[in-house]
Every structure is written in C-alpha cells, then in structure tokens.
Amino acid sequence: MKRYDLINFEIDDTKWLYDPEPAKRIARFAKRYFKHFQSQHAGHPFELLPFQFEIVDAFYGWLDPTTKLRKHNELFLLGGKSTGKSPLLAMLGCWHLLMEPDASPRVISTASTLEQARIVLDFAKGYIYNDDLLSSLVDCQTTILRTTNDRQGEWRCVTGSGRAKSGFAPSVFILDELHELAAKDAPMLETMRNNLTKRTNSALFIATNAGTDIDGICGQEYKRAKAVLDGTRYEPSLLPIIFEAPETDDIKSPATWIKAIPALGHTIKESEVAKVMQRIRGDTGREITFRRQFLSQWRQTSKAYISKHDWTLCEVNQLPDEVYALPCYVGLDYASTRDITAIAFVFVDLSADRLYVKVDMRMPKSAALTYQDDYNIPYEDWQKANYIQLVPKKTLEGIEEKKAIAQTIIDASKRYQIQRVCYDKTGTDQIINDLIESGLTVEPINWSAYGIGSATKSLQARIIEQSITVEKNDCLAWQAD
C-alpha cells in the first residue's frame, strides 16, 4: 500500500498498526497554539502544509501492534533551502516537551556550532512568546527552555563539536544541518544515538541540505536513507524523507525547484528563487551553490571549474565514425600504483573549431577495490560498462603492464591519424621507448601551475560553449564533477 504520495515512501502495513489520530492531534496543537512570527506569514496560525502533515503522519502514525510504540524512531529529512525544516522541528520539539507522554522530557538540539543549534530553539521560543498559555508553561532562557509545571521538562542546546556527553538521556535529539558537521564530530552522533536507547519511544530528528562531501557524515546518512527508500536496506526504525531534483532536470524551471523545495510558493516565492537563479550568469561556482542549496544536489565544492550539467550536454554515447579520420592527438597520464592511468584521444576538427574526445582508463584492481570499499566509488560497475579496465595487478609498474599501455596507443595509431603523443615524463621511459620504436612522434609535457591552470580554463570554456564532444564515460564524468 502506498499512502504517502508527496514524500514518495511506501509503508508496509502488514506488520504495523496505523493510527491516524497522533498526526491529527499534533496538527491541532500546532494550529491552536503556534503563530508564525516572521515574514509574510507573521501572525497566522501554524497550519501544517500537506507534505509536513504526511511526514508527521508517517512518523507518529505507524505503531507496533503489541507494544503500541512507534515503528520509527529516526527521521532523516533532506530538502532544499526554505523547505521549512527548522520550524517543523521546532514545533515537534515543543510537542515532545509539553504534550508527548514522557516523564521529565528532555529535548536536545545540536549542530556544527552553538549558533546553528539555536536556530531551531529560537523558532520554538518565538512560538512560545506569541502564545500566553505556552509562555506561562515554559521559561525561556538563551540556550535552555524549562517547563514551569510538574512535567519538569527541559530543552537544551549543545554544540556538535565533540562535546556530546554520554550521560544525556534525551527524549528527542534534533540535529540540524548535518552536512555542516566535520568528520571529527562522527562520535557525537553515535553517542547521541546510544543515549536515545535510555528512553522508550525516543526520537532522533536529522534535518539537512545536500552537502559537499558524499563520503562524510551527512553523505553516509544520505546513502543509508536512499538505500531504505529503494528497498536495498531494511531498517524499519528509519523514516527517510528526501526532496531532491534529478541532475538532468532544467535548473531554470519552477517544476524542478519544487521537487527539492516542497514549500515553494509558501515559505519562499518562485520569484525569489528566480532571482538567485538569474545571478548565476555562467558562474560555475554560483551554479554549484544553487544546485546544492536549492535543488538538493550533492557537490564536492562550490569552486569547481566544470559544471556537471554542462559536461552532460557535451556527452554522446559514441563518437561518429567520421571523427576517426580527423587529426588525433594523444595525451598519456601514467600512474604506476594507486591512481588511474589515462590515455586521451583528442580528434581535432579545425574547420568547425571542435574537439572530440574518448578516453582509455586503467588502474590496479586492488587499489580500485580499496577505494570502492572505503569511499563507495563504483569501479566494478564502471569496468562492466567498459569505462575503465581494472588490471589484476597491485601496480602498473611491471614491464608487461607498461608494454600493454604502449600497445594500446600503437594499435590505435593503425585506426586513427595520430599526430603526436604528449606525456608526463614521470615513470614513462619504457612506454615512450616502445612508442618511438613504432614510429610515433612523442612530446613531453612539463607541468606547471600556469600550464595546468590555462589548460583547465581552456577546457572549461569549451565545455560551456559546447565546442567539445566527449564519448560517454561515467568514470571520466565522476572525475570532472
């Protein structure tokens, strides 16, 4: 049964009891006691948007039929900027502080900095200040909220920078902007997860945008959530909610924006997103930031030279046959041990000012499998698709491996009009000698910071102008991203 169309998550209702009342109670609580206090909605009741209600319903509505405890005790919520994550978590934090059956409830907010951790708490304080009854029930201090009645509840802010104490016994743990946490903060998340086991029916709420490190803390949680969503991982305690736009969608279209920002038109106007979009104007760094913040698309850095979108527009599944009659220049980047050796064949059409590129890549299989295990880089999938050759050797330093590299270029010279082979001199003596003996013209390249920079700028310009055509290779595209 598929109950949640907006959040695109299917609940297996054969093992769990569904109760629609908890979400309805929480929605009534929000509308009755909470008023927005910012922007155009100031003074209006907090009415859950449809996608927010479905999240609440999915998290609180599914119960163990025997114990009546919640099926889910973790929520992973990823969405674009202005999705309304912080207000929603603030409301839920107040619900647990004031209403959820729990003795001496403890809510803990954390983030990469205390200032960031206070954002959700400050939303809660704003809601409390704007309601006379809530103000009488909660004493609001800078980083702590305490109930004034016999519930003896407390909401406290802590920083995520390695200071999580093992003594905490939270009812709710709210981790905001997970993508900003550093690797050193990983033990904090596990400590808080362990602390949540000290209470029955506790909850972990993680909210985040897409990050810059897919292999970091947030990236690992994201991949875990995606695996639950696609059914490759069974973890009923986790409710994964991911709002993201596909990489191939038109980034200028509101139909794309709303996939990552389901509150578009409510928490942020289309015109405001359009203004941010218009400021890109060919600036790759701004585009990367826009894609990450507003489309929930992961990016390694906001300063990358090459736009993945532009790169995709330059790809074709196979170069046209007539390309192989054009003058060809070969670039050899040899790596002997744990990196990729690449042979780039560049065909030059001077009349059309266009380059055509196809690449042969290989690396030691042992190194590839290590990177695959440690960083989830899909080298074996790429090998099956003929994007890279995984050589069953620990290195490519042997005479046999070097001769195989040279032979690849020599064989290509029988099909292509190779003008010269350009190469980095490091470790390539044997390869180059074989190429010279075959009659090929070779030319060493002396690398410098200036040379690399000017070549990269030239490549970037061609990609933006789409005056280069690249034969599709997902391993190459991954390196370009």
pLDDT in tens, 317-328: 999 999 999 999
Neighbouring residues of 254: CB distance < 8 A, sequence distance ≥ 6: 264, 270, 273, 274
pLDDT at 331 over 50: yes
b/e map of 273-295 (b: 16 or more CB within 10 Å)?
beebbeebeeebeebbbbbbbbb
pLDDT of residue 450: 43
3-state secondary structure (DSSP) of residue 175: strand
Mean predicted confidence (pLDDT) in 199-214: 92
Mean predicted confidence (pLDDT) in 389-410: 94
Distance CA 176, CA 204 (A): 11
Which helix (H) or strand (E) segment holds residue 290: the answer is: helix 284-295
pLDDT at 9 over 80: no
Neighbouring residues of 358: CB distance < 8 A, sequence distance ≥ 6: 319, 344, 345, 470, 471, 473
Distance CA 240, CA 217 (A): 16
Q: What confidence tens digit (pLDDT) does each residue in 72-119 have?
A: 999 999 999 999 999 999 999 999 999 998 889 999 998 888 888 889
pLDDT at 52 over 90: yes
Distance CA 449, CA 126 (A): 52
Mean predicted confidence (pLDDT) in 444-470: 78
Task: Kindly report the average pLDDT of the chain as a whole number.
Answer: 88
Q: Is residue 243 a contact partner of residue 261, using CB atoms and an 8 Å limit?
A: yes
Closest alpha carbon to 367 in 329, 406, 340, 398: 340
pLDDT at 454 over 80: no
Rounded-to-10 torsion of CA 478, 479, 480, 481: 50
pLDDT of residue 165: 52
Q: What confidence tens digit (pLDDT) does each residue in 340-390 have?
A: 999 999 999 999 999 999 999 999 999 999 888 766 688 999 999 999 999
Percent of the chain with pLDDT over 90: 64
CA 157 to each of CA 86, 113, 170, 372: distance values in angstroms, whole numbers, following the listed order: 14, 10, 12, 38
Q: Is residue 57 a contact partner of residue 67, using CB atoms and an 8 Å limit?
A: no
Q: Is residue 363 a contact partner of residue 388, using CB atoms and an 8 Å limit?
A: yes
pLDDT of residue 162: 44
pLDDT at 222 over 50: yes
330 DSSP 8-state letter: E
pLDDT of residue 183: 66
CA 294 to chain centre: 12
Percent of the chain with pLDDT over 70: 91
pLDDT of residue 374: 66
Up-side HSE of residue 41: CA atoms within 13 Å toward CB? Answer: 16
pLDDT at 305 over 80: no
User: How sure is the predictor about 184, in pLDDT bands with cuts at 50, 70 and 90?
Assistant: low
